[in-house]
A = this chain, B = another copy of it.
């Protein structure tokens, strides 16, 4: 077990070094996120809370695109997740006692990809 553990840590350390990082140091990661915030205990209509979250993303200067079941967001990991936290704070501050949120997060190290690239890769292949 110790051998396995040592080999595991070595692999991880090598990868960090390859990227010029020390363990514990944060890797800059671009994310594409899908966010769906559901306030509970405020009745059946939740559009004003979703609109408030759109404002939060706008204020954060994050690229984002609303769709019928959530919002796509693009940016650095920390900026995007700080904005998502702010969404929860604001929606609570607006009076919602409970929130359940779904998030999908995509990261990749092989290449850069924007939200539009993801859509294009499907529709271009869809000849």
Contacts and interface: CB of A to CB of B under 8 A. Distances in A.
Interface of A: 1, 4, 8, 11-12, 15-16, 26-27, 29, 32-34, 36, 38, 40-41, 43-48, 50-52, 54-55, 65-70, 72, 74, 77-78, 81, 85, 88-90, 92-95, 97-110, 115-116, 118-119, 121-123, 125-127
Main secondary structure of the interface of A (DSSP, over half): mixed
A100 B70 contact: no
A72 B77 contact: no
A65 B122 CA distance: 12
Chain copies in complex: 4
A93 B52 CA distance: 32
Given A44-B110, A47-B122, A105-B101, A89 B34 contact: no
